[in-house]
């Protein structure tokens, strides 16, 4: 169903204190109608914590001198995939900062090597803003999907979260280019980021309706101790759930992760996200010794758990809400 900005603001107001059963049930029914009891698993590989950008909310921003920087080698990335593949994963997400030390050519090589070695998998990149020609090269190398959260669809709010060199305009240009090239595209935003208003959240939904992405990543803002936003409050669990439910209803077929950030602010955050329409989980396949260093926000869960343990844990959690961990590629139903 199509929501106007007014509709979104009204729903947020109506569910301000507690998410209503009605909204949750509608979102959950919608997920079931499209995906049944499947919740898709994506193996996340955080391959570089180096970043040239300076997003004000992010723990790996360039100006954070305390951040531990690492960069996996091609060999290490392939080993993560090897482990993931033997655990049953059929899709890998290579995520990292905008790291000039990892060239576009090297990234293309990583993608094509993964596809060569594991032809039955889908590869997702999440490496930020690039020129259209580079996105085309990534696509030619075999990348299937691309995640790039828009973070906020309001210009003024965007400017408060990012340094002056970054713009919402370029962010949107990237998303439209990616879609046009043929990627399954993921956008998304944080809930409760500093200076965010309900009108900004309404704009996020209206923007998503216009972009019509295949995937949407939504998680609460969680402060990081080494950023200037360290004293801001984290986003609320309730509001994050409300935004997940609205997104499920606005984009019925979208792939919607119950994010690690959601699991970080509440022990049962991800299960509750699933009950509000989320249908993807992204266990971490990064080598254990670098997990702590990929610190976008404080308190991130699962940094000490082997992927195999996370799978067991997630299976149990999903079963508790009537779902099943689906390890298949989980392509978007709208391609
Ligand atoms: N809190 C929550 N999410 C964050 N991200 C970055 N920093 C934070 C934070 N402090 C999210 C951004 C980014 C994704 C990879 O992680 O939305 O797109
Ligand atoms: Fe990682 Fe529960 S999902 S330990």
Name the 3-class secondary structure at 296. coil
Which ligand sits nearest to residue 49's alpha carbon?
1
Strands 145-147, 215-220: pairing kind: unpaired
* Amino acid 13: pLDDT: 98
Instruction: Tell me if 151 is assigned to a ligand binding site.
Output: yes
* Amino acid 96: pLDDT: 98
Nearest Cα to Cα of residue 273 among 9, 39, 7, 1: 39
C-alpha distance from residue 18 to each of 14, 97, 267 (Å): 9, 35, 18
* Amino acid 211: pLDDT: 98
Nearest CA to ligand 2 atom 1: 310
* Amino acid 213: pLDDT: 98
Question: CB under 8 Å to 16, separation ≥6 — which residues?
Answer: 238
Instruction: Tell me if 31 is assigned to a ligand binding site.
Output: no
Question: What's the rounded Cα separation, in Å, for the pair 96 and 60?
Answer: 10
Looking at the CA of residue 311, tell me the nearest atom of ligand 2. Answer: 3
* Amino acid 172: pLDDT: 98
* Amino acid 315: pLDDT: 98
CB 125 within 8 A of CB 145: yes
Centre of ligand 1 to C-alpha 222, Å, is 8
Centre of ligand 2 to C-alpha 272, Å, is 15
* Amino acid 115: pLDDT: 98
Residues 277, 247, 332: CA angle, nearest 5 degrees: 75
Q: How far is CA 140 from the centre of its chain?
A: 23
What torsion do the CA atoms of 126, 250, 234, 54 make, to the nearest 10 degrees? 30
Residues whose beta carbon lies within 6 Å of some atom of ligand 2:
283, 302, 305, 309-310, 313-314
Question: What's the rounded Cα separation, in Å, for the pair 154 and 141?
Answer: 33
Phi, psi of 146 (to 5 degrees): -145, 130
Nearest Cα to Cα of residue 219 among 332, 300, 324: 300
Give every residue of the chain whose pLDDT is below 50, as ranges.
none
* Amino acid 32: pLDDT: 98
Nearest Cα to Cα of residue 188 among 233, 237, 221, 229: 221
Q: Which two tokens stand for residue 334?
A: 């709208």
Centre of ligand 2 to C-alpha 328, Å, is 19
Centre of ligand 2 to C-alpha 329, Å, is 20
* Amino acid 325: pLDDT: 98
Name the 3-class secondary structure at 47. strand
* Amino acid 269: pLDDT: 98
């Amino acid at each position: 169903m199509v929501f106007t900005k007014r509709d979104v603001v009204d729903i947020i107001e109506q569910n301000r204190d507690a998410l209503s059963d009605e909204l949750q049930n509608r979102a959950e029914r919608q997920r079931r109608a499209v995906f049944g009891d499947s919740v898709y698993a994506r193996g996340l590989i955080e391959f570089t914590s180096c970043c040239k950008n300076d997003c004000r909310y992010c723990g790996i921003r360039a100006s954070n001198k305390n951040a531990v920087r690492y960069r996996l080698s091609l060999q290490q990335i392939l080993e993560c995939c090897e482990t993931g593949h033997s655990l049953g994963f059929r899709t890998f997400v290579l995520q990292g900062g905008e790291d000039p030390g990892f060239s576009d050519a090297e990234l293309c090589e990583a993608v094509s090597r993964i596809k060569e070695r594991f032809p039955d998998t889908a590869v997702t990149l999440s490496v930020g803003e690039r020129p259209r020609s580079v996105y085309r090269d990534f696509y030619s190398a075999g990348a299937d999907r691309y995640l790039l959260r828009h973070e906020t669809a309001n210009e003024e709010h965007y400017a408060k979260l990012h340094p002056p060199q970054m713009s919402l305009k370029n962010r949107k240009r990237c998303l439209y280019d990616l879609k046009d090239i043929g990627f399954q595209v993921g956008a998304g935003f944080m809930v409760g980021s500093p200076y965010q208003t309900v009108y900004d959240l309404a704009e996020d939904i209206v923007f998503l309706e216009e972009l019509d992405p295949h995937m949407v990543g939504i998680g609460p803002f969680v402060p990081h101790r080494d950023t200037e936003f360290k004293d801001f409050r984290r986003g609320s669990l309730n509001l994050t759930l409300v935004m997940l439910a609205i997104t499920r209803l606005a984009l019925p077929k979208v792939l919607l992760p119950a994010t690690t950030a959601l699991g970080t602010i509440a022990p049962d955050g991800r299960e509750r996200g699933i009950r509000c329409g989320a249908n993807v989980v992204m266990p971490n396949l990064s080598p254990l010794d670098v997990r702590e260093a990929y610190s976008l926000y404080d308190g991130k869960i699962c940094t000490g758990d082997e992927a195999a343990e996370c799978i067991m844990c997630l299976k149990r959690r999903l079963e508790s809400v009537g779902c099943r961990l689906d390890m298949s590629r989980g392509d978007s139903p709208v391609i």
